[in-house]
Amino acid sequence: MAAPVILVDPLPRTLEQIMTPAVRARLESLGRLVISEARPMHDDEIEALLPHAVAIIGQTAMPRERLGRAPQLKAIINVETNFLPNIDYAACQARGVWVLTPASAFAAPVAEAALGLALDLGRGISAADRAFRAGSETYGLEANLDTIRFEGAPVGIIGFGDLGRKFRELIRPFRNEVRVYDPWLPAEIIERLDCRQSDLDTLLERSRFVVVFAAPTTENAHFLGAPQFALMQKGSAFLLMSRAAVVDFQAMIAAARSGHIRVATDVFPVEPVPADDPVRATPNMVFSAHRTGGTRDALFEIGSMAVADLELILKGLPPQLCRRADPAIASRLRSQPVSKT
Amino acid sequence: MAAPVILVDPLPRTLEQIMTPAVRARLESLGRLVISEARPMHDDEIEALLPHAVAIIGQTAMPRERLGRAPQLKAIINVETNFLPNIDYAACQARGVWVLTPASAFAAPVAEAALGLALDLGRGISAADRAFRAGSETYGLEANLDTIRFEGAPVGIIGFGDLGRKFRELIRPFRNEVRVYDPWLPAEIIERLDCRQSDLDTLLERSRFVVVFAAPTTENAHFLGAPQFALMQKGSAFLLMSRAAVVDFQAMIAAARSGHIRVATDVFPVEPVPADDPVRATPNMVFSAHRTGGTRDALFEIGSMAVADLELILKGLPPQLCRRADPAIASRLRSQPVSKT
Amino acid sequence: MAAPVILVDPLPRTLEQIMTPAVRARLESLGRLVISEARPMHDDEIEALLPHAVAIIGQTAMPRERLGRAPQLKAIINVETNFLPNIDYAACQARGVWVLTPASAFAAPVAEAALGLALDLGRGISAADRAFRAGSETYGLEANLDTIRFEGAPVGIIGFGDLGRKFRELIRPFRNEVRVYDPWLPAEIIERLDCRQSDLDTLLERSRFVVVFAAPTTENAHFLGAPQFALMQKGSAFLLMSRAAVVDFQAMIAAARSGHIRVATDVFPVEPVPADDPVRATPNMVFSAHRTGGTRDALFEIGSMAVADLELILKGLPPQLCRRADPAIASRLRSQPVSKT
Amino acid sequence: MAAPVILVDPLPRTLEQIMTPAVRARLESLGRLVISEARPMHDDEIEALLPHAVAIIGQTAMPRERLGRAPQLKAIINVETNFLPNIDYAACQARGVWVLTPASAFAAPVAEAALGLALDLGRGISAADRAFRAGSETYGLEANLDTIRFEGAPVGIIGFGDLGRKFRELIRPFRNEVRVYDPWLPAEIIERLDCRQSDLDTLLERSRFVVVFAAPTTENAHFLGAPQFALMQKGSAFLLMSRAAVVDFQAMIAAARSGHIRVATDVFPVEPVPADDPVRATPNMVFSAHRTGGTRDALFEIGSMAVADLELILKGLPPQLCRRADPAIASRLRSQPVSKT
């Protein structure tokens, strides 16, 4: 009998990026790895492997007919951390094939950076550094006229998945009143983490720090625009940590430029941002070039979550770490293949 | 009988800076306030008030002979938050006059800013913002080659008074191994807060983030210099949050300039820093112009701590919020009158 | 078109037991309730409702053929909190019918009681009360010769599902070293909660308090018996919080009677325990008559979790609160219909 | 010059009780120990040692005239953990002699036991064990008719010194609303620990668990009596953890006997309690024979706190662990010499 095959088709990632040697060794002990890293795996290779494949690690297309030719397949683990439309999710569910992604791998570094950016906006850290380098600094109380202390300030979290919840845990010592807006969640989940379920408008009106972790869906494009920014208190902080598609980006820039709010963003409508984009000179902003998630440890976390769950699945146990693709949800997410992070 | 007098001599602060109207009203209910805010109170005014004074709020000199002329005096509360050498501490202790200062008022804003600066150094926040504004940003993993994730990194705290302890509480969710160096404390105090007592060299060698909160004393001038920076791992972060006198400032700048460590500082040997000081162009640094403590809420905290403790003292109860001047310690601190914060 | 039907077949529970009026009102707004509480719903009633049923709240049998006759069915929510073998789990999965149970409803009261029982065993609370009532008490240090302080003691948790994790959260302030044995979980899950993954023998040898939350499965009957108790340190505490089937009950009693360990149990091989069972006189034990989970708030939690998840499902969103029946797992659990709790 | 002498006069404790060998070795390195453990040190011995004594560990009387004959004395550390009236506190303060007691040594074991007793009262643990042993147990929901879940229940803490604060920390995971009554403290201290300052009546009316840690003073004898118990909600829990003198003990017993409240007590007006005291048969109570504090680890904590502070004092640093005798407070406490704990 042929050894069980693990089909590894991880582009745009590579195994070296996402697995430490120790984790890779654990993977190798689970089956024979067939890896395509220089280019996406060719269809004929895939077809030849399907009869023996127990798992796919990567973004290989898996329409219904291919599933039929992979009778031993037990798991498909997307290591890009997006659920793509190239899989027949319903057929996988019907067959009992786990479709997973280690989506929470980025939660810790993004949440940490979000707190760093929030403290920067509140305490004026990068602006004060720029002023000092320019010789225009002020000192002491005079330098704190616009300071918002993060401790105790009302915080609003928009989107309360892995990232939002991790952020919530990081800020516990600051004893904020935390409102959460997430239309996919019941109040119970929110209250268990000592937050208050809120509608969007109230959250915007009451929070001094608004942090957006909401993933783009078929329903929420540009749901944060000029009317929403207008609801925020003057001088409050707005942090965009997820994807540019959920905001009206130009309205956000305008709200910062006018001084109505201060803004930090990790994402942009087009990346890389054009060299001459006038956004680069916007005051009252902190810019982060889509870099809060892409840390070495986050990439390794992808690999270790994938392997730990595959170990469980091959023992007949349910996975514990990756997110499962609920067909209804997968079809509502508007993720696109990533080139970076 | 004359009403009890509270002598208020708060310069360089003013009552308006340090007390909200509600707190001031509480103070006024405790006695007749005699206030000198335009200039330090004159000696003849002081002498006239001594027989009736139950409390002094301010930095009035109180040598032994004056104490003898103030038989009703129960408390002296320094609102600059330094213990100055213009008081006979031993005589106050012998007389049972409380000498207090609300020193911990700055702990919360300084600790919050220290975390913001630590996240900035670790995640490259202000440097990435500068790069973006200059059009030289990188994205994703490429932008994280020098990243040190704060979560889980070994942290060293030098000086474990109010500030160090508050910082320790703020970073709990990051689950760092925390070493503490503080020669004035027993191991028990350090271990109760889930930290490890450490000698200085081990702390410097092992920590990826070293945060200095140590107050200057007669014994610790420049105790952190080139040999100490050399012990730190390449690329580690050093944060100076207390006073410039505890470090060899030029050695610290040199260590940043060479790229050996990254540095954030809130203090400088001379403040304001001369306009042409070449320090302003140092790479691998984040500059904060002595501004982490001087927030509005910290100043109001000074007032509310002072009044709450005075309320207790005038009821015959011991104070609970301010620091007490231990004569032995007061004489070892090298605090100077402040002009800012 | 007929209104959507929610088939309610909750015995041995009743809706009144598991839903506050407010929660029941939310359920009623989701569809037309057809309720059978006096007896399990008859087959002919069920058949008549299947074409219109969108959800089943209860323990109704759902073999494959019935599923075929319920084309609108979206959810089956077991409110006994066991997954029973009367459902074709694979067919439900293939159809995309959620099979759920609010299993974690009991986690909070059981974990709270487990801590109460652990403190009782460690500090001798009920034994000291009995001694006092009998006039044979001792005082002070003499009364603490057998005391084990819970704070700081090594703790072992066997079974790290909802109950074990809730217990772990409750004991955080006691700063225990916590070992976890759970063969269904990867180390990552355990370490995220600041515990150490352990094999069973090491856990038993090192822990001063061993708490069993493991559910009975086809594989773990009596896995804790005389050899395992013998591994425990003399005088250590053993708490059985899940089901009697996972231990060799007589060996456990013998280990308590001999004084080798102290034991608390909430479960018994036969319940109610026969009146003349000699177990009732065993020393070094604390007895709880299967009562740690059956609190009013736990039962209401069942209802509110069920309704909150049903609200999400009927909006096309995935459930967030109940446990999902993974077919592989459901077939390995040896749960039986409950009469109590 | 004679070696510095440490006068050790610890009865009713012994050095062996309060110091591990390692701690005792640290003490011996600080000076020449002169120990009297078989009996209190005789006056002539004391007089002979005074000229050389740098520290006293024990309860030796120190009136003003003796202080005058002990010119090198720097610290008096009471290891009974009461401030007794046999010391001239004002003279010590005037001389700069530290008078200390490691009062918080008992905080951890008492707070732990208080939580155990609270869970016992709320969940009926010892009563259920008694019922089971008597063959009269009930099961499941029926056994929980009187249950008060501790999690989320309003809690009132009376007396917010070391014990009350430690208890507050232990119950954090239970997410109670906590009211505190302590007339010696400002609101700030209470609010920093996420509690609400309360008057006594409101606390009694609103709390489901009332825990008394208040030390007896010249002002609070019997301040909790029949009118106060009447304010409590029916079925609520009252725990007396400090001293019998602060309650009207007979009223407390009556309130339990009538079923109005449930009560746990660790202290009694006369100890040992007479054999035939009818209190022993009171229902709705849990009895603890003054045993919550007297654990081995608490006694060792006394020694290690005393030695750690003495080390600091002899280096010219202020103590960090023991409580300082404020003359005003010492004279208001009504502590008596202890025979036990």
Give exposure, C90-115, as e/b (b: 16+ Cβ within 10 Å).
Answer: bbbbbbebbbbbbbbbbbbbbbbbbb
Whether the complex's predicted ipTM is more than 0.85 is answered with yes
For chain D, domain boundaries: 5-102+296-330, 106-287
> A87: which strand partners?
A62
* Residue B45, both tokens: 């005014």
Distances (CA, A) of A90 to A325, A329, D69, D190: 10, 11, 92, 56
pLDDT in tens, C24-59: 999 999 999 999 999 999 999 999 999 999 999 999
- Chains in touch with B (≥3 Cβ pairs < 8 A): A, D
Closest CA to A73 of A93, A48, A98, A94: A98
* Residue B114, both tokens: 């220290």
Query: CB distance B291–A139 less than 8 Å?
Result: yes
Q: Do A102 and A80 form a contact (C-beta atoms < 8 A)?
A: no
Mean pLDDT of C101-111: 97
What is the pLDDT, as a whole number, of residue C333?
Answer: 66
Q: Is the pLDDT of residue C341 over 70?
A: no
Question: Which range (B335-339, C155-159, D84-88) has the least confidence?
Answer: B335-339
Q: Is the pLDDT of residue C128 over 70?
A: yes
Domain pair D5-102+296-330 / D106-287, same fold: yes
Q: Is the pLDDT of residue B5 over 60?
A: yes
Q: Is the pLDDT of residue C339 over 60?
A: no
Burial class (CB in 10 A: 0-12, 13-18, 19+), B311: middle
> A321: which strand partners?
none
User: May I ask the CATH class of domain C106-287?
Assistant: alpha beta
DSSP for A44-78, written as a single string: HHHHHHGGGEEEEEE---B-HHHHHT-TT--EEE-
A101 SS3 class: strand
pLDDT in tens, D8-38: 999 999 999 999 999 999 999 999 999 999 9
Q: Is the pLDDT of residue B330 over 90?
A: no
Find chain D residues with C-beta within 8 A of C271's C-beta: 139
pLDDT in tens, A142-157: 999 999 999 999 999 9
Give me the sign of the Cα torsion angle A222, A223, A224, A226.
Answer: positive
Task: State percent of chain D over pLDDT 70.
Answer: 95
For chain C, how far is it from start to end, CA to CA, in angstroms?
39
Q: Is the pLDDT of residue D338 over 50?
A: no
Mean pLDDT of B295-316: 97
Q: Is the pLDDT of residue B275 over 80?
A: yes
| Closest in C95, C320, C329 to A185, CB measured | C320
Find chain C residues with C-beta within 8 A of D139's C-beta: 271-272, 289-291, 294, 340
Q: Is the pLDDT of residue A322 over 60?
A: yes
Mean pLDDT of B8-27: 97
Q: Which of A17, A104, A110, A132 to mutate to test the interface with B (most CBs of B within 10 A)?
A: A132
pLDDT in tens, C260-270: 999 999 999 99
* Residue D266, both tokens: 């660790």
Pairing of strands D323-324, D98-101: antiparallel
| Closest in D129, D149, D340 to C140, CB measured | D340
Query: CB distance B318–D328 less than 8 Å?
Result: yes
| Closest in A123, A143, A340 to B116, CB measured | A123
* Residue D159, both tokens: 């007396």
Q: Is the pLDDT of residue D334 over 70?
A: no
Mean pLDDT of A232-247: 97
Closest CA to D102 of D158, D162, D61: D162
Q: Does domain B5-102+296-330 have CATH number 3.60.21.10?
A: no
What is the pLDDT, as a whole number, of residue D84?
Answer: 86
CB pairs under 8 A between C and D: 189
Q: Is the pLDDT of residue B339 over 90?
A: no
* Residue A141, both tokens: 């109380």
Task: State percent of chain A over pLDDT 70.
Answer: 95
| Closest in A94, A317, A329 to C318, CB measured | A329
Question: What is the band of A218 on the pLDDT scale with cuts at 50, 70, 90?
Answer: confident
Q: Mean pLDDT score of chain D, rounded to an integer? A: 94
